[in-house]
Chain A
Amino acid sequence: MNCDQAFDALTDNDLRGSHELIQHLDGCPRCRDMADMLDPALDLFTDVLEASGEFEASAPTDNFANEYSDNAEAAPTSEQAPSTRPRTASRPWLQTSQRRAASQRDGLRVAAFLMLIAVMVAAMVNVERGGRNDAVAISLPADCQRSTTTESSSDNVVAGCVACHLKAESLAALQPTQRTHARQLVQRCVSCHLDMTTDQYLAELSADINGELKSAPSFQLASCLFGRNGG
């Protein structure tokens, strides 16, 4: 799953708690920040959708087409709805009170079951996130944060990730466990965004600084990482 697919999943009620998404968020601080930022709105949508079980349960039972096929010509003549249509127009698929009551009872059962599942999933996600927060003892600098105004290319995302987490001075300053985590973080970042290994990426950076690619976007990063100015 890449970051684009992660956003799709994050905004999909069925996929929001998926293992794939959680795995991606685990390895991508940028998406994790985004998920945390959007959580209040996503939670509210989830709650409201759960509460609207009445609409899920109710379904049209009368024949729309049969009742309206004779009146099709009287129907709106454009995609714009007719403003003159009386508010008391018949609604062929509305439920009778008995059907509505029955569907409401079904809706209650479904809503209760869904709520139980949602609570369990939310609890699992919270546990996962709690554990992850403990593991990530590295504060992310501005380069690693999600930008609200511009979309970074994959190269820029990875460059920011590598610059922060693999830069020699930063790495040396970390505790051994944090260092291992930083390496794992970068491995995931590179493999997800650039579809290559960290070694391959570092080799490319090295080639940049040794070759004639001083105009390449990664040149400055390579200079920084390898402690040379390329001159």
Chain B
Amino acid sequence: MLNDQEIMERVRSGQVELFDELVNRHRASMLRAAVSKLRDQAVAEEAVQDAFLSAFAHRHTYRAEHSFRGWLWTILLNTCRGLARRELGRIDRASGQPESPTAIEPHSSGDALSRLVRAEQAALLFRFLDELPEAQADALRLRFFGELKFDEIAHAMNCSTNGAKQRVRSGLERLSAALRRADVSSIDARDISGSNRSEGDNQ
């Protein structure tokens, strides 16, 4: 199986249909990250689409010695920032009040309550990410949603590998501290759904 760099080389040399494979590989993780950053499913989908469009349009500027994922995620982060600014302006013009964010809509097994708890967990995570310094939050998104290696994060964020690690570590520390303060670690969809099932069994 071809790796990303090899596919990109072929796309650059004219086999543009291979770009579909890159979209297939990276769309899901990019969409997760975009949703967490933009807090709106539709805008996030637009951001991902724009990022792929931009990558495709500028495929000749890609240099094979760099990680494709690092390059692609740089584009996504820039795209998200641009769309976030545009959305902010749109909201300001419309009402002066931000719309309530649309968090990720988890689709997992379990009953309605466990789905609700999971949606709440996602909303909570996104809210805490919003409260972190942007560099730390983006580093966490790239690491966990994008599953990028630290050297790829470093490339995407224009910092050293150690700097990328430090951002992830500091972000996780702050996030953990915030979660402990909020005492939300007890929220566990599995526990709740499990106890619901037990209650159901008993009745």
Q: Known A45-B144, A47-B121, A91-B45; judge A54-B23 contact (CB<8 A).
A: no
Contact of A60 with B172 in the complex, beta carbons under 8 Å: no
Contact of A65 with B121 in the complex, beta carbons under 8 Å: no
The B-contacting residues of A in range 28-54, CB under 8 angstroms, are 37-45, 47-54
- Which of chain A's residues have a CB closer than 8 A to the CB of B78? 79-81
- For the complex formed, measure the closest distance between the CB of A9 and the CB atoms of chain B, giving whole angstroms: 12
- Which of chain A's residues have a CB closer than 8 A to the CB of B171? 41
Tell me the bound Cα distance from A156 to B62 in angstroms: 43
Kindly state whether residue A69 has any CB partner on chain B within 8 Å: yes
**Max chain A CB contacts within 10 Å: which of B57, B145, B168?**
B57
- Which of chain A's residues have a CB closer than 8 A to the CB of B74? 79
Kindly state whether residue B12 has any CB partner on chain A within 8 Å: no
Contact of B122 with A48 in the complex, beta carbons under 8 Å: yes
Tell me the bound Cα distance from A104 to B172 in angstroms: 31
Contact of A115 with B121 in the complex, beta carbons under 8 Å: no
The A-contacting residues of B in range 37-71, CB under 8 angstroms, are 42-43, 45-47, 49-54, 56-58
Contact of A54 with B54 in the complex, beta carbons under 8 Å: no
Contact of B165 with A7 in the complex, beta carbons under 8 Å: yes
Can you list, as one digit per residue, whether each of A66-97 has a CB less than 8 Å from chain B (1) or not (0)? 10110011011111111101010101111000
- Which of chain A's residues have a CB closer than 8 A to the CB of B20? 60, 63-65
Kindly state whether residue B154 has any CB partner on chain A within 8 Å: no
Contact of A80 with B56 in the complex, beta carbons under 8 Å: no
- Determine which of A44, A52, A65, A115 lies in contact with B17 in the assembled complex, contact meaning CB atoms within 8 Å: A65
Kindly state whether residue A56 has any CB partner on chain B within 8 Å: yes
Contact of B27 with A66 in the complex, beta carbons under 8 Å: no
- Determine which of B58, B121, B125 lies in contact with A79 in the assembled complex, contact meaning CB atoms within 8 Å: B58
- Which of chain A's residues have a CB closer than 8 A to the CB of B86? 83
Number of residue pairs across A and B with beta carbons under 8 Å? 174
Contact of A59 with B108 in the complex, beta carbons under 8 Å: no
- Determine which of A13, A55, A83, A115 lies in contact with B147 in the assembled complex, contact meaning CB atoms within 8 Å: A13
Tell me the bound Cα distance from A80 to B84 in angstroms: 12
- Determine which of A40, A49, A56, A76 lies in contact with B185 in the assembled complex, contact meaning CB atoms within 8 Å: A40
Count of chain B residues with Cβ under 8 Å from any Cβ of A?
Answer: 67
Contact of A115 with B108 in the complex, beta carbons under 8 Å: yes
- For the complex formed, measure the closest distance between the CB of A78 and the CB atoms of chain B, giving whole angstroms: 8
**Max chain B CB contacts within 10 Å: which of A42, A49, A56, A92?**
A49
Kindly state whether residue B157 has any CB partner on chain A within 8 Å: no
Contact of B53 with A65 in the complex, beta carbons under 8 Å: no
Contact of A64 with B190 in the complex, beta carbons under 8 Å: no
Contact of B56 with A41 in the complex, beta carbons under 8 Å: no
Q: Known A54-B106, A64-B52, A115-B108; judge A11-B47 contact (CB<8 A).
A: no
Kindly state whether residue B189 has any CB partner on chain A within 8 Å: yes
Contact of B109 with A41 in the complex, beta carbons under 8 Å: no
- Which of chain B's residues have a CB closer than 8 A to the CB of A11? 143-144, 168, 172
Q: Given contact pairs A12-B147, A65-B20, A65-B56, enumerate 11 new A-B contacts (beta carbons under 8 Å).
A: A41-B179, A48-B125, A49-B32, A51-B107, A53-B106, A64-B20, A65-B11, A75-B57, A79-B54, A83-B85, A93-B27
Q: Could you write out 29 A-B pairs with CB less than 8 Å apart? A: A11-B172, A41-B173, A44-B175, A45-B144, A49-B145, A52-B32, A52-B106, A52-B107, A53-B107, A53-B108, A55-B31, A55-B32, A58-B28, A59-B24, A60-B20, A60-B23, A60-B24, A64-B52, A65-B11, A65-B17, A65-B19, A69-B56, A76-B53, A76-B57, A79-B58, A79-B74, A79-B78, A92-B49, A148-B173
